Structure 1
């Protein structure tokens, strides 16, 4: 069950931060009708309670270097003792998401790299991890919905 923020103002703060995580506390306070200090305290509580788990940037892509995305479906030899595979994936900076999933499949891994050659290198690296039984890789042809970048 997913927890929700404690009140509507917390929900408004989270919505504003999703739109612009760099908004000033003063401007955010104006939008949610609270003082800058009250907004700061609420954000600190939302961080402490796990509603805000971190901050990140999404770099602009250089026009000469488009990014290539792929999804790797990773099957481990032993799902219960396959933590070394996850540790190996954590060490690859192009791995942007890794989900443990139910069913026959073990891991769904999203990779974003500068070119298809780098995706292949990552595939070779992951397939050599002890505990990896098989990998199915799908290169993304185009992205039609990307809510993470809005």
Structure 2
């Protein structure tokens, strides 16, 4: 169970996941050892799943981000497909959705040729019946 101090730690990490533990401990008014123990507990309880970076937006890099909506032939093939999606570093996340499609893949900003390659790999996955690609023009927030 998270308490107020855990929430403060998480908020600081959301702002800057590379904040040194000594700075973090100062901000939450706890010892370095106590903060390290809390971080370990949050990681072990999967309250923190990882640390990440922020990359430049598509407008800055010239890369293209996309959302790929996927319909499966048979829903039971979805689990095998997700095991393949997770191996593709260009896919930022995979959401199971309801409606006309089974999955929504969020594709990181990449060059057009690389996006085409990723889409070809997705089309080849067993059970993928149909895809719809939505190109991202910019990230608003």
TM-score, L = length of structure 2 = 0.89
Work out which structure has the larger RCO, using CA pairs closer than 8 Å and 6 or more positions apart in sequence: 2
CA positional deviation for 1:114: 2.7
Change (3 A) 1:57 1:64: closer
Equivalent residue number for residue 135 of structure 2: 139
- In 2, Cα distance between equivalents of 1:83 and 1:119: 23
Q: CA deviation at 1:82?
A: 2.4
Post-superposition Cα deviations, 1:44-71, rounded to whole Å, max 9, x if no partner, equal: 111111110111223457x984221000
Structure 1 SS opposite 2:74:
coil
Quick one: distance in 2 between partners of 1:128 and 1:22?
38
What is the total number of aligned residue pairs between the two structures? 141
Structure 1 position 75, deviation (Å)? 0.5
- Unaligned runs of at least 5 residues, structure 1: 146-150
Cα separation, 1, equivalents of 2:140 and 2:55: 19
Q: Of Structure 1 and Structure 2, which has the larger fraction of its residues in helix?
A: 2
With normalisation by structure 1, the TM-score equals 0.84
Q: 1:34-73 maps to which residues of 2 (within 5 A)?
A: 34-60=30-56, 65-73=61-69
Aligned-pair Cα RMSD in Å:
2.0
Give the unaligned 5+ runs of structure 2.
none
